[in-house]
Amino acid sequence: MALPVVQSAAFKRLRHATFLGILSPAFAIVEKHPLARANTGKDQSRAHHSFKVALLAARMTTAMGLPDQVVKYAMAWGLLHDIATWPLSHTGEAAFSESTGVSASDLRKFMIFGDSRLDDVWSVYLPIKSLRLDHGRLLELFRKSPGGLDSELAVLHKLLHSPLTPDTLEGMHRTGRVVGIDVPRPDTFADAMEQDLVSGVRLKEAYSRDALSFWRSKSAIYSRFINRAETIEFESNWSRSVCDLFVGLSLSETLALSEKEIVGKVLDRGLRKANGIIRYKSPLKYSISEPYRKKRILKKGIPVDELSGVLVKSSS
């Protein structure tokens, strides 16, 4: 269905971007690596993650009874949600967005529409066009506050921006395998949502236990691994070093770098200490709100608009 996107150079390069960046087990030999002594699984690539997210998004929207065209948008969203990922994933994002002055969201826009600041080879404008999808509507699906979406795409938007978005469901399960924390499988949630005439999208009551279990697992991953002080310092130092070492490169040149090349040059030059936290986003804490903290199941289905009041994301 979305083969033109998968075959594009922009997507193919994601095969060589580790999912966890410098935190990946692929770089566990690096000094002071957070996983140096852990017996962990592989995180694989951003391409593999994106493909799995696209399949999950398609399954969830199909199960909700949304039209085939909306399912196609869901799959395209999954394939493209990480299309602007730099080498070393989030480690690279913090570094290269600073060195180029271009955010990941702006880079995604450049790649979807084409832009003079980016070589044509990194554009997915033509693959999207061949799928007969509207570039503007597709981009709106990535915005927190979209405009101009019809009712069915608005339903899809609610799903894609809920606490149980296909991206975080797949990404946390992938990360959990690496750090040794059990996370419900993404396909557990393939039939978890339903359309609701009032709210648009509702989590089915039968899946509330899985949702609470998922959020507890996500909380554990962040508190025990991602937000540990030594992990934050390690990743910040690497982002600072990458930014300083590769400053002056064009946007297209940063996308063409290999992770092996980046890591090798940083190690040759020596890791630099960051002045503070340098990450793609500030450290966040994930928790379950007080009324539900000790519960294992919710008594009824809940609209996804209200789900963030149960599955809470806050500053760490």
Question: Residue 68 and residue 193: Cα distance in Å, rounded?
Answer: 17
CB atoms within 10 A of CB 224: 13
Integer Cα distance of 142 and 109 in angstroms: 10
Question: Tokens at residue 247, please?
Answer: 């400053």
- State how far Cα 280 lies from the chain centre: 11
Q: Give tens-digit pLDDT for 223-250.
A: 999 999 999 999 999 999 999 999 999 9
pLDDT digits (tens, 9 = 90+) for 95-151: 999 999 999 999 999 999 999 999 999 999 999 999 999 999 999 999 998 888 888
pLDDT tens per residue across all 316 residues of the chain:
678 999 999 999 999 999 999 999 999 999 999 987 776 778 999 999 999 999 999 999 999 999 999 999 999 999 999 999 999 999 999 999 999 999 999 999 999 999 999 999 999 999 999 999 999 999 999 999 888 888 899 999 999 999 999 999 999 999 999 999 999 999 999 999 999 877 789 999 999 999 999 999 999 999 999 999 999 999 999 999 999 999 999 999 999 999 999 999 999 999 999 999 999 888 889 999 988 887 777 767 889 999 999 999 998 7
Phi/psi class of residue 183: alpha, beta or left (left: φ > 0; alpha: ψ in -120 to 50)? Answer: beta
Q: Report domain extents, the chain.
A: 3-34+41-185+193-315
CATH code reported for the domain at 3-34+41-185+193-315: 1.10.3210.10
Entry pTM = 0.95
> What is residue 44's three-state secondary structure?
coil
3-state secondary structure of 203: strand
What the block records as the tokens of 273 is 């200490």
